[in-house]
Chain A
Amino acid sequence: GESVGLHLPTLSVQEGDNSIINCAYSNSASDYFIWYKQESGKGPQFIIDIRSNMDKRQGQRVTVLLNKTVKHLSLQIAATQPGDSAVYFCAENLETSGSRLTFGEGTQLTVNP
């Protein structure tokens, strides 16, 4: 399953499917990006990050893709599990301008068993 940027904040997939969560970021000068997972009642949990000099980075079951031309990030989750159900946020940072993160809208991922 795949979300469509800021206009579709929910994504429902079957267990075992691959998920793609999309994010449009705002500042073309941002040079560092993070994906966070947030479960109900908890703080954001780091998933994976990527610097602007890369276009792809892989982790365990997750891959982040960065397209600077269109200011777009995506998070791919392989073999999605019920424990992946959460809200996913992308965040951007411009390191030379300080340490604030600017978060995107978020996507609610629901994994059906």
Chain B
Amino acid sequence: DTGVSQNPRHKITKRGQNVTFRCDPISEHNRLYWYRQTLGQGPEFLTYFQNEAQLEKSRLLSDRFSAERPKGSFSTLEIQRTEQGDSAMYLCASSLNGASRGYTFGSGTRLTVV
């Protein structure tokens, strides 16, 4: 078990460009979560999947953001027309069923929009 894997670790993009991040959860975990973390703050929930179904989305997830988990394994988070305010660490986590079953975070993708 290699834990939750996220790629890339760092991404620098120009404002207006689209970016996509990938998350590979722990293999037996059926739930996958995306969070955003800005400097000095705790992670903020964006969305989560149970298998391939996206069950909850935060109001933070504007229409420029889209997440998918097509086969119930890895997930992608896409941000279209990036803005400087999108600069943050994007964290992925996974668990087996509820929050109390091995909620494990990846190391995140650091996005910088210039």
Contacting B at CB under 8 A, from A38-66, are 41-46, 49, 51
Measured CB to CB, the residues of B under 8 A from A are 4, 31, 33, 40-45, 48, 55-56, 58, 91, 93, 95, 98-100, 103-108, 110
Please report the number of residue pairs spanning A and B whose Cβ atoms sit closer than 8 angstroms. Answer: 65
Shortest beta-carbon distance from A86 to chain B in Å:
13
A42 to B56: give the CA distance in the assembly, Å.
Answer: 25
Point out the residue from B56, B58, B108 that lies within 8 Å of A43, measured CB to CB: B108
Measured CB to CB, the residues of A under 8 A from B are 9, 32, 34, 36, 41-46, 49, 51, 89, 91, 93, 95, 98-106
A46 to B101: give the CA distance in the assembly, Å.
Answer: 11
Shortest beta-carbon distance from A47 to chain B in Å:
12
